[in-house]
Amino acid sequence: MVTKPESTANEFQSGAATSSDTSNAPSSLSNAAFNTASNIGSNGTQTSKPREMKQRKGRFLIAPRRHHQMQMMDLSPLQFSAIEQALRDSPDIEIIDRVGPKHAVGTLATGMPDCTAVLVARMTDDKARSLSLQAQGQLIIERDQPLQLLDMNYAQASLVNCNLPTTGPAFTAEFLVQGNGSPIKDAEVCLMGGLIPASGITDAKGRVKLSLIGESAQSLRRLYVKPRSDYWSFCQEQPDVSSSEMNVIGLRALCDWPSLTNFPQQQQLTWGQRAMRLDQLPSHYRGQGIRIALIDSGIANTHQDLIKITRGYDVINKTQDTTDWTVDTIAHGSHCAGVIAGQDSTSGIRGFAPEAEVHAIKLFPAGQISQLIEALEYCIEKQIDVVNLSLGGAQPSEALEQQIMRAKQAGVACIVAAGNSSGPVNYPASSANVMAVAAIGRLNEFPPDSYHTQTVTPNVDANGFFVARFSCFGPEVAVCAPGVAITSSVPENSFAAWDGTSMAASHVVGLAALVLAHHPEFQGSVGQRSAERVERLFQVIKMSCRPVVPGDQRRIGFGMPDVMRAVGLAPLYSPQMMSAGMSAGMSSPMMQSLANVYREPPRLMPQTMNPGLGSFDPYGSYRPLVSSPMAMPAGYTFGIW
């Protein structure tokens, strides 16, 4: 019988195991034993001290709760200042930021002079729980959720697991991407098989080499190419790919498609703008006097269509350079800006409201809920009229919801992309205080070999409209708008055709600016900044909608807004138009909903948390109701749509 050396036995008893005997090692080692055992290298020499993996302190939001059930215990600014000082004096809590009104405009604009700031603090989960118990429900204490870019990525890989092959035969292929015979640089090429897809970016010669372990030429399912700009995407099912020869892929230029002939040298409207009848609007309807904010990835105002955009704020780098909003590395904000307010010139894309005052608020990449709250504070301070929020996917935030309600009270209308996950409407689009926009597409507005074809769903109406496959759905959807193959501006001075509810929301934001600037109703008392104005704006847009894609109202809301009706140049829908709507294919429930909206006076949400949001645990994490349409699948986080 072999016995263990005494020293080894002693080490085992003290909580450490040697490398020669790990089968009986305890499930957890004491820190001291772990450090002692791990500090000696295999050759007996001293090595750097290892670090045990553990959770870092989290970022939390702390704010007075203004829930309707808590009004009796509402905190005044003076009381909250005392709480803030106590938190700053605590050795276990680090206050890293303070978000809230900075000037009298922000404090008084909402009619709530007692509004207080939101604190951003770093502390442990245990400390947050303890603090919540001490607050007895008077404070919101919730995680400062990170914001993640969720741009339309058609080549999403499956989750890696330990059963997938890591070695063995690999299928390798080289690709050359060209346009008009010239190599295309920086195009994303993705090859998908039955396991994990491989993707890469083309070099200056338009070439990229991809390898897939465990795949063969026969197991390949899809080839996808997404250029950065100026060309249509390419998608091939069951591709015939060679591993021994160069695979050449020719992309179509945007101008090769009939509706974009001579583009961008000759200015165009998006197909969506034409579908909403912007082309029939008198030329002097240009959104003058209206302020629009895009809370997005910035706007590259060096682009020929965006050079008139001169105002902005970089909330991510506010401690360093708030003017960095002109750098848009993602290009998403620039694309949305072109649809909303691209200047009217002889080239490029013309926006809905080329003379509106546009503010670019840079939140992506790497933004967080606290920074979104600060971005909305900027909108209140600057008296913004309409905000474009092309983000979503997070768990609802009570602190953010309170800020959205503050903005609404100040007359700021938030129009939000519903989301691109093909599931329930994401937050904040699911909030009762915003307008949620779903996406539709139209046949024959994109090449049949482009990826846009993958967005088509079977239910297509007589005019070729269809609900986009990716678009989120639910009772919160107010309207739908064009969001497939939308051509707009991207840096440096180029154009790209993109899909997403972001693109759909941009169409509605541009329309909202025209309504506020030119509809006669908003030139009178209704035009005064207030929650009533926001509600009436949303009602006018809904009542302007015409039916598209008959079927599930949860996917299209009231339908697609009509520019001529929305600005008052054609009659809005009324109960008397129900029979006409029925003959056009609009469902009876939808027509009844339109009739109800037509009859209703503006409805105001109370200055409280929306009861439909569910309940919150003692330190602010969201606990959705069982029947809540906003309950999100596990793993969803905030992102740009």
Active-site residue set: 296, 332, 502
Report the alpha-carbon distance of residue 563 to residue 481 in Å, rounded: 12
Report the alpha-carbon distance of residue 31 to residue 21 in Å, rounded: 19
| Residue 542 token pair | 């809904």
Please give the C-alpha separations between residue 509 and each of 172, 195, 215, 270, in angstroms, as whole numbers.
46, 41, 46, 15
| Contact between residue 64 and residue 78 where contact means Cβ atoms under 8 Å apart | no
Strand segments, DSSP code E, in 332-446 are 357-362, 386-389, 391-392, 413-417, 435-442
Taking the alpha carbons at both ends of the chain, their separation in whole angstroms is 67
| Residue partners of 377: CB distance under 8 A and separation at least 6 | 99, 100, 101, 102, 106, 403
Report the alpha-carbon distance of residue 563 to residue 556 in Å, rounded: 17
391 forms beta bridges with 640
Runs of H (alpha helix) within 432-552: 501-518, 531-543
Report the alpha-carbon distance of residue 538 to residue 468 in Å, rounded: 23
| Residue partners of 37: CB distance under 8 A and separation at least 6 | 11, 16, 17, 18, 29
Closest by alpha carbon to 300, among 264, 254, 343, 338?
A: 338
Closest by alpha carbon to 167, among 209, 211, 200?
A: 211
Mode of pairing for the β-strands spanning 188-192 and 198-201: antiparallel
| Residue partners of 26: CB distance under 8 A and separation at least 6 | 15, 17
Closest by alpha carbon to 548, among 462, 484, 469?
A: 462
Q: Write the DSSP symbol of residue 545.
A: -
Strand segments, DSSP code E, in 169-228 are 170-179, 182-183, 188-192, 198-201, 207-213, 222-226
Complete DSSP assignment for 569-608: SSPPP-GGGHHHHHHTT--HHHHHHHHHHHHPPP----SS
Closest by alpha carbon to 445, among 482, 481, 471, 418?
A: 482
Residue with tokens 């768990």: 395
| Residue 411 token pair | 């007359």
Report the alpha-carbon distance of residue 632 to residue 510 in Å, rounded: 29
Evaluate the omega torsion of the peptide bond into residue 264 and state whether it is cis, within 30 degrees of 0. yes
Helices 501-518 and 531-543 cross at an angle (nearest 10°) of 110
| Contact between residue 388 and residue 340 where contact means Cβ atoms under 8 Å apart | yes
Mode of pairing for the β-strands spanning 639-640 and 234-237: unpaired
Q: Write the DSSP symbol of residue 25.
A: -
| Residue 285 token pair | 């309807």
Residue with tokens 């056009």: 584
